[in-house]
A and B are shown apart, each in its own frame.
Chain A
């Protein structure tokens, strides 16, 4: 069993400019992972599968994770002019003040791959890839051409999380029906009102459904269908 550092070094030697980053796992499981730059992911995956020493021929698990936008409240020290009365005279003095600022950390979608080696009997080696954002730049390269076992699992991630895997031979929804529009595993998913229970939604039923979809205070949140 090689450590993640050794695997990272092997990847960087084989694929120039791979941009591999180690993500440490604080849990006792000790399963640290490697974050790949999506642009080189196919080359890295091919190397991991075909390298004689690693021989990671078995992709066990593929899944998605949703990291929504996070509002971070932090205290920052800033220097700013403050008018003060010093010895009876009003003056403007530069002073260090602590200020509470809110910062929006943009969210993303993440795909996680667990690899094992059947030939060498070791694992797991965990790969991760992140999309740029959660709304319109959600493409990641598909690893199905390298490991066929990603075929259904990437379809499932596309279905439930909305990550678009470019290069996937047959990217359709897996579990939800084709006409379904949202991605239920996202953390801000709002499930629809029980519209199937009311076959003819009109008047007060329709109003109630609309209220459900756009909760007060968040006009046009757009979640749910």
Chain B
């Protein structure tokens, strides 16, 4: 740990006006070793490659290589109807299908000006925060797994995730590929029994977070491996478009739920946790704290949820043709800012359909964070970014 800190001190500051990372000069005694980490490296959570140049154990260059999972979702979406893309958005970030649905529905609602009924907004918040909770829990689990704690924390996280996925299945019919939202509402209504079951699950979540916290937060090995590793400064984070827990771990107070107040988020009391150092430990801690805030939002939403319709009565599923124009809609997805940019030419399918993937853009600074660290730390730094390849490659 102390060694990697002394390494990182050799990274030169970026010169003014040119925000590229400066490569560290190799020490000169010995040869460089080029390692292709991936596309089948267990830490890459999918098919992703990092071409790393090493001087001994020290990373002096790192180039991410994308595209192994590319299927040109945007092109496919431009050839089918607006609603036809909704199930496809589930497959972007397959850990958090609900928030993908939400971002797409929000962008279309911006384009057409459709209203979402109150109950549907509550259902969106409840499902969205459950999604955030299970995403953060499992991403912490994966991070700890990559540190060598094989299994236990990840299985604890998956135990809770399973309860949440069961709720998704009861409501939507599918555990992951939910296809739940519609333009102007949601597809199916929640029964009182489902809401009661959700309240029961949510009541058990704080206990899990406490357990996770006690198990991990002050663990000596975790602190030694993560503190001071992969530091991301606030100004670079903003300039590089980093969003989500990574941005807030660097101390930038920017949560789209607060800034845009989309949906009904401005009705709930919750805090935005901020980090101090912007290292891997802070990112872990921010996710843990955000899980607690999600529980706060869930408790309020489950208490206040009104009865009523879940679809805008004027919404049309067939013959859906928005008026010409364009709209960019974004939400605070668990991984960062997920945006959809749509252009309509008045036809039944979008003229342009663009996804702003938080996972891809958060990787812009991967090289900056890894330079000067040991190759073993690359796995941790990469894990702390929290990406899903379905969204990176689209």
A and B assemble together:
yes
Asked if B356 and A176 make an inter-chain contact with CB atoms under 8 angstroms apart, the answer reads no
Nearest neighbor of A24 in chain B, beta-carbon distance: B325
Q: For A114, A147, A148, A177, which residue has the most chain B Cβ atoms within 10 angstroms? A: A148
Scan residues 123-178 of chain B and give those whose CB is less than 8 A from a CB of chain A.
Answer: none
Contacts A27-B326, A31-B327, A126-B328 given: A175-B66 contact, CB under 8 Å? yes
| A112 sits at the interface (CB 8 A) | yes
Provide the A3-38 mask, 1 if CB < 8 A to any CB of B, else 0: 000000000000000000000011111010000000
Say yes or no: A61-B364 contact (C-beta < 8 A), given A25-B326, A185-B75.
no
Encode contact with B along A139-160: 1 for CB under 8 Å, 0 otherwise.
0000001011111110000001
Which residues of A from 55 to 101 have beta carbons under 8 Å from B?
57-61, 63, 65
Complex Cα distance A50/B67, Å?
34
A169 contacts the other chain (CB 8 A): yes
Q: How far is the CA of A101 from the CA of B91 in the complex (A)?
A: 47
Q: Assess whether A124 is interfacial by the CB under 8 Å rule.
A: yes
Q: How large is the interface on B (under 10, 10 to 19, 20 to 34, 35 or more residues)?
A: 35 or more
Using known A-B contacts A27-B111, A28-B111, A153-B361, determine if residue A118 contacts B339 with beta carbons closer than 8 Å. Answer: no
Give the residues in chain A near B240, CB-CB below 8 Å. Answer: 147-149, 151
CB of A174 closer than 8 Å to a CB of B:
yes
Does chain B have a CB within 8 A of A224?
Answer: no
Bitwise, B26-59 to A at CB < 8 A (1) or not (0) is 0000000000000000000000000000000000
Residues of A within 8 A of B (CB): 25-29, 31, 57-61, 63, 65, 112, 114, 118, 121, 124, 126, 145, 147-153, 160, 169, 173-177, 184-185
* Complex A-B: 23 CB contacts under 8 Å: A27-B324, A27-B325, A27-B326, A28-B111, A28-B112, A29-B111, A29-B328, A29-B329, A31-B327, A63-B341, A63-B352, A114-B328, A147-B240, A148-B239, A148-B364, A149-B242, A149-B361, A151-B364, A160-B74, A175-B67, A175-B72, A175-B394, A185-B74
Residues of B within 8 A of A (CB): 17-20, 66-67, 70, 72, 74-75, 110-113, 236, 238-242, 252, 254, 259, 322-330, 337, 339, 341, 343-344, 352, 354, 356, 360-361, 363-365, 393-394
